Amino acid sequence: MKHTSIRLADGRELIYFDEADDAVRASVDQRDLAAPPAPTQLRRDPLTEEWVAIASSRQGRPLLPPTSECPLCPSKPDYFTEIPADDYDVAVFENRFPSFSTSAAIEPGSLSGEPPEVRSDLSDGYPSTRPGVGRCEVVCFTPDHESSFGKLPESRVRTVLAALAQRTAELSQVPGVEQVFCFENRGVEIGVTMHHPHGQIYAYPYVTPRTRQHLAAARRHLAATGRNLYADVLAAEIADGARVLARNDHWTAFVPAFARWPFEVHLAPHRQVPDLAALSDEEREAAAPLWLSLVRGFDALFHSAMPYIAAWHQAPVREDRELAYLHLQLFSIRRGPGKLKYLAGSESAMGAFVNDIPPEEAAAALRAAMQATLS
């Protein structure tokens, strides 16, 4: 695989990931673009001690443009897109409407951009703010606008995985970045603004709240048992077997016994690694067919395109890497044909989930759907 970096008309970076080592990328972005938007601002919520990004420029991003105006398709002589070339395999570029940006200033004397210690008595001012340091990237899986992740060949999924691993390694070196998150939002029910098959990468300037929760639990488990928490969960699921969907020499896919979403699957490597960049070539090769099979099973479940989020949980860049355990969480808000799970009062206000579908039933349904895609 070959990757080539170019600059778009407004200075943003684009990287082609080509499956042919002799690919040549000479196309130039011919658009006349405005300068990138002003950096975002982070504001601290003192009630939860979490950061909220204020990113008003994102209001201007495209909303479900027609195919003829899709910015993720290859460029044509009569329509220039974010991809200057007339074809590509996988392309990754800096988001034109980012939640975080490398143009944000880092606090003097601080590599990570963390402000001085924030006091809970609000004596540092209200609200406490900091620059939205980081980077947001778009990952185009295919030039085919009408395709989807589940329709990709295994070879392309391997290219996507290689691209995500490379970007994780590169973004982890960016000053101010504390965590790299690779994900795909699929379906208007999830909130996508473009139909073209694509994922995203967020390089956060802080460790996200969900990851902090995972790490805190892992730290307590390690202190009590001397073992890794997620490794123990994986071992317990394999031993039980009732919710295991598929396995190979390097990975296991299962519906967790504690699933909070109607249909939720974890795909985990058998070896504890902190992130995608730490996987071996063999492990990435083995992940591709299982990831693809799970997505195809989701689509086969109700014989329609399933809205889902595919989220790669990775370790923070600089802390607790020995506690984290890389895994993919694939989940949908669809609970049945024509039925969605809405995050209403209990989930949205209290963070207390209620799942309508027992994980064992979800696992049985997904196994049957995955098997159907093979026949």
pLDDT at 104: 56
pLDDT at 61: 84
Under CATH, domain 210-372 is a member of which superfamily? HIT-like (3.30.428.10)
Residue 267 in tokens: 């795909």
Q: Distance (Å, rounded) from C-alpha 254 to C-alpha 366? A: 10
The values of phi and psi at residue 17, to 5°, are: -110, 105
∠ CA 257-262-265, nearest 5°, is: 55
Q: Distance (Å, rounded) from C-alpha 196 to C-alpha 63? A: 12
Closest CA to 96 of 167, 194, 173: 194
Beta bridge mates, 362: none
Per the confidence metrics, is the pTM higher than 0.85?
yes
Residue 210 pLDDT greater than 70, yes or no:
yes
Asked about 195 being catalytic, the answer comes back as no
pLDDT at 37: 83
Q: Distance (Å, rounded) from C-alpha 39 to C-alpha 282? A: 40
Task: Look over the chain and give the mean of its residue pLDDT values, rounded to a whole number.
Answer: 93
pLDDT at 99: 93
Closest CA to 96 of 178, 165, 33: 33
Question: How confident is the model over 226-245, as a mean pLDDT?
Answer: 98
Question: How confident is the model over 296-319, as a mean pLDDT?
Answer: 97
How crowded is the C-beta side of 49, counted as CA atoms within 13 Å?
9
Residue 121 pLDDT greater than 90, yes or no:
no
pLDDT at 108: 42
Enumerate the CATH 3.30.428.10 domain ranges in the chain, comma separated.
2-208, 210-372
Residue 270 pLDDT greater than 50, yes or no:
yes
pLDDT at 258: 98
Q: Distance (Å, rounded) from C-alpha 291 to C-alpha 32? A: 39
Residue 110 pLDDT greater than 60, yes or no:
no
Residue 15 pLDDT greater than 80, yes or no:
yes
Residue 214 in tokens: 């995972």
Residue 74 in tokens: 């290859």
Residue with tokens 């730290």: 219
Q: Which residues contact 346 (CB under 8 A, 6 or more apart)?
A: 352, 353, 354
Percent of the chain with pLDDT over 90: 88
Give the torsion sign (CA, 93, 98, 100, 105): positive
pLDDT at 112: 45
- DSSP conformation class of 143: S
Is the domain defined by 2-208 classed in CATH 3.30.428.10?
Answer: yes
CB 297 within 8 A of CB 374: no
Reduce the DSSP state of residue 46 to 3 states and report it.
coil
Residue 55 pLDDT greater than 80, yes or no:
yes
In which order are the strands placed within the sheet that holds 41-45? 50-54, 41-45, 129-131
Q: Distance (Å, rounded) from C-alpha 342 to C-alpha 340? A: 6
Whole-Å CA distances, 219 to 14, 181, 321, 325, 356:
38, 21, 11, 12, 31
The values of phi and psi at residue 362, to 5°, are: -60, -40
The values of phi and psi at residue 230, to 5°, are: -65, -35
Which one of 196, 198, 250, 266 is the catalytic residue?
198
Percent of the chain with pLDDT over 70: 95
